[in-house]
């Protein structure tokens, strides 16, 4: 029986060329699987036709936008996931979802090999293959760009020689990956980290320097999940789409950073994530109102580790599952409304309210009606500082140097 390769298919040059190339190299039939995670652009029906025209024996297109928003973007939001305190895990979030569908397709079609278009320099090879190893360790993985030293120039020549039905060009200024949660841009002139990004790099956001009226938005959360915008009920998918539109129109969510890749190199990346940044900003503020101090302090460390695990391709790991359980517990009372002003590239919190608020006006006020018993403070301060005073006295007694 002929083996079958299930290919993660984008419809672009590299994965289109991979269809006949994999068939030639492995002798297997190729099943192309394209997953819509909100990347926009081309009609997926056209993507499917192209895969078949390039030689796939079958091609599937999966509309996974709602699934991506609910099962991947929302957990990232509840974890306030920002890798290196900045990057909202745009590409990293979509890979485990694609892996899930690749495995399902392999089971349906009797596939024994899974293929992806990643190179050996990036993070995505890890995300795909570690995920596949967790869900389907019996499947073999082939990565033409990495395993067979398959370059873009070779791909273009190969496509031209075989008359494949795809547009090819020897020059493309940037490498772009985008989905519902944001957009990632790299390579080209951006590889010189002194070069500033030009405006044509951006597609999800307007120039924040252009004058425009601010936009005020109220986001309603229930247990850490956005459920309404300006009083209108929304699904997770609708919430991200709407805030991509409104925050993007104000230039919110542009990031220019040098990040630490998993493979050990540093990479310059341009990101646009208007909806993600607006939602995380609002969610963090609502947590400030509703989550108790020590729990909030501990959760910040959990959030950071959660983001690192997902960035590093460990979505299906035991630690990630355990952190999910902790985060779920912390979100029990993260319910209420946050008002943001979107303007000039920033999402600024201007109001917050919650029935589960731990903010007590009478305790916080300095005016008449203050219920805070200040007579308790003196003893509290003395006891709080007691260990430091005792250590300082010990140091002085033993001739230690004062620490200033």
Q: Is residue 233 part of a domain?
A: yes
Same domain? For 138 and 221 the reply is: no
Integer Cα distance of 139 and 148 in angstroms = 19
pLDDT of residue 403: 63
- Is-catalytic flag, 254? no
Same domain? For 205 and 187 the reply is: yes
Binding residues for L-aspartate: 119, 123-124
Quick one: CA dihedral 378, 380, 383, 386, positive or negative? negative
Q: CB of 51 within 8 A of CB of 9?
A: yes
| Among 87, 69, 88, 62, CA closest to 240 | 69
Whether the per-residue pLDDT at 171 is higher than 60: the answer is no
pLDDT band at 141 (very low <50, low <70, confident <90, very high): very high
**Residue 292: which H helix or E strand, with range?**
none
pLDDT of residue 53: 93
Same domain? For 107 and 239 the reply is: no
Q: Is residue 40 part of a domain?
A: yes
Q: Is residue 368 part of a domain?
A: no
Kindly give, in sequence order, each residue whose CB lies less than 8 Å from that of residue 63, ignoring residues fewer than 6 positions away.
36, 44
Tell me what the mean pLDDT of segment 73-102 comes to. 97
Integer Cα distance of 193 and 221 in angstroms = 39
Could you give the percent of the chain with pLDDT greater than 70? 97
Range in 13-22, 155-164, 216-225 the model is least confident about? 155-164
Binding residues for ATP: 8-16, 117
Q: Is residue 339 part of a domain?
A: yes
pLDDT of residue 187: 85
- Is-catalytic flag, 153? no
Q: Are strands 215-222 and 175-179 parallel, antiparallel or unpaired?
A: unpaired
Tell me what the mean pLDDT of segment 262-286 comes to. 96
Range in 13-22, 149-158, 359-368 the model is least confident about? 149-158
Whether the per-residue pLDDT at 43 is higher than 90: the answer is no
Tell me what the mean pLDDT of segment 8-33 comes to. 91
Same domain? For 201 and 166 the reply is: no
Q: Is residue 403 part of a domain?
A: no
Range in 39-43, 157-161, 259-263, 301-305 the model is least confident about? 39-43
Domain boundary among 172, 200, 230: 172
pLDDT of residue 161: 84
- Is-catalytic flag, 207? no
Domain boundary among 116, 139, 172: 172
Q: How many CB atoms lie within 10 A of CB 343?
A: 18
pLDDT of residue 291: 98
pLDDT band at 214 (very low <50, low <70, confident <90, very high): very high
Q: Which domain holds residue 232?
A: 176-291+333-353
Mean pLDDT over each residue of the chain, to the nearest integer: 93
Same domain? For 220 and 128 the reply is: no
Dihedral angle of Cα 266, 68, 100, 308, to the nearest 10 degrees: 30
- CATH number, position 102: 3.40.50.620
pLDDT band at 169 (very low <50, low <70, confident <90, very high): low
Could you give the percent of the chain with pLDDT greater than 90? 79
Residue with tokens 């300006």: 230
pLDDT of residue 402: 64
Q: Is residue 399 part of a domain?
A: no
| Among 34, 68, 93, CA closest to 238 | 68
Give Cα separations from 64 to 34, 69, 385 (angstroms).
Answer: 10, 9, 55
Same domain? For 92 and 236 the reply is: no
Whether the per-residue pLDDT at 170 is higher than 60: the answer is no
Tell me the per-residue pLDDT of 226-257, one tens digit each, with 9 for 90 and over: 999 999 999 999 999 999 999 999 999 999 99
Looking at the structure of the chain, the number of domains it has is 2
Q: Is residue 13 part of a domain?
A: yes
pLDDT of residue 40: 83
Domain boundary among 172, 187, 221: 172
- Is-catalytic flag, 14? yes
Tell me the per-residue pLDDT of 297-342, one tens digit each, with 9 for 90 and over: 999 999 999 999 999 999 999 999 999 999 999 999 999 999 999 9
**Backbone dihedral region for residue 381 (phi beyond 0: left; psi -120 to 50: alpha; all else: beta):** alpha
- CATH number, position 196: 3.90.1260.10
Q: Is residue 115 part of a domain?
A: yes
Show the tokens assigned to 310. Answer: 């997902």
Q: Which of 78, 100, 124, 246 is catalytic?
A: 124
Q: Which of 49, 146, 175, 339 is catalytic?
A: 175
**Which SS3 state, helix, strand or coil, does residue 399 take?**
coil
Quick one: CA dihedral 302, 307, 311, 317, positive or negative? positive
Same domain? For 229 and 216 the reply is: yes
Q: Which of 4, 48, 78, 95 is catalytic?
A: 95
pLDDT of residue 207: 97
Q: CB of 198 within 8 A of CB of 192?
A: no
Same domain? For 58 and 140 the reply is: yes
Tell me the per-residue pLDDT of 368-385, one tens digit each, with 9 for 90 and over: 888 998 999 999 999 999
Sheet holding 225-229, edge to edge: 232-233, 225-229, 215-222, 336-343, 346-353
pLDDT band at 172 (very low <50, low <70, confident <90, very high): low
Quick one: CA dihedral 115, 108, 320, 285, positive or negative? positive
Whether the per-residue pLDDT at 41 is higher than 80: the answer is no
Same domain? For 190 and 148 the reply is: no
Same domain? For 135 and 276 the reply is: no
Kindly give, in sequence order, each residue whose CB lies less than 8 Å from that of residue 96, ignoring residues fewer than 6 positions away.
72, 127, 131, 315, 316
Same domain? For 21 and 98 the reply is: yes
Binding residues: 8-16, 87, 117, 119, 123-124, 127, 175, 259, 271
Tell me what the mean pLDDT of segment 42-66 comes to. 92
Same domain? For 153 and 43 the reply is: yes
């Amino acid at each position: 029986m002929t083996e079958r390769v299930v290919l993660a298919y984008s419809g672009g040059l590299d994965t289109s060329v991979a269809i006949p190339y994999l068939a030639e190299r492995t002798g297997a039939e190729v099943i192309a699987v394209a997953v819509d995670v909100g990347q926009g652009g081309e009609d997926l029906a056209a993507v499917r036709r192209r895969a078949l025209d390039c030689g796939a024996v079958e091609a599937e297109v999966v509309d996974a936008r709602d699934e991506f928003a609910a099962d991947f973007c929302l957990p990232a939001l509840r974890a306030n996931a920002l890798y290196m305190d900045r990057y909202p895990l745009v590409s990293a979030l979509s890979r485990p979802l694609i892996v899930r569908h690749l495995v399902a397709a392999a089971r349906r079609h009797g596939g024994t090999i899974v293929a992806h278009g990643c190179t050996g320099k990036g993070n995505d090879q890890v995300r795909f293959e570690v995920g596949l190893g967790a869900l389907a360790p019996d499947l073999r993985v082939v990565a033409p760009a990495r395993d067979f030293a398959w370059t873009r120039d070779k791909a273009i020549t190969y496509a031209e020689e075989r008359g494949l039905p795809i547009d090819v060009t020897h020059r493309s200024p940037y490498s772009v990956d985008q989905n519902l949660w944001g957009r990632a841009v790299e390579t080209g002139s951006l590889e010189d980290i002194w070069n500033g990004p030009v405006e044509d790099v951006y597609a999800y956001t307007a120039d924040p320097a252009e004058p425009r009226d601010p936009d005020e938005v109220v986001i309603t959360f229930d247990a850490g999940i956005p459920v309404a915008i300006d009083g209108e009920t929304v699904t997770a998918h609708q919430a991200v789409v709407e805030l991509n539109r409104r925050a993007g129109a104000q230039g919110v969510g542009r990031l220019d950073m040098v990040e630490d890749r998993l493979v050990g190199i540093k990479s310059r990346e341009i990101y646009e994530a208007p909806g993600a940044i607006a939602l995380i900003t609002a969610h963090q503020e609502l947590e400030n109102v509703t989550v108790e101090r020590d729990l909030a302090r501990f959760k910040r460390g959990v959030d950071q580790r959660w983001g690192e695990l997902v960035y590093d391709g460990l979505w299906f790991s035991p630690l990630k599952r355990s952190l999910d359980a902790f985060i779920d517990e912390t979100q029990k009372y993260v319910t209420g409304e946050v008002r943001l002003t979107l303007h000039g590239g920033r999402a600024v919190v201007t109001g917050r309210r919650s029935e589960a608020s731990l903010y007590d006006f009478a305790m916080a006020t300095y005016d008449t009606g203050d219920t805070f018993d200040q007579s308790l403070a003196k003893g509290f301060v003395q006891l709080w500082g007691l260990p430091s005073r005792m250590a300082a006295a010990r140091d002085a007694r033993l001739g230690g140097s004062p620490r200033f």
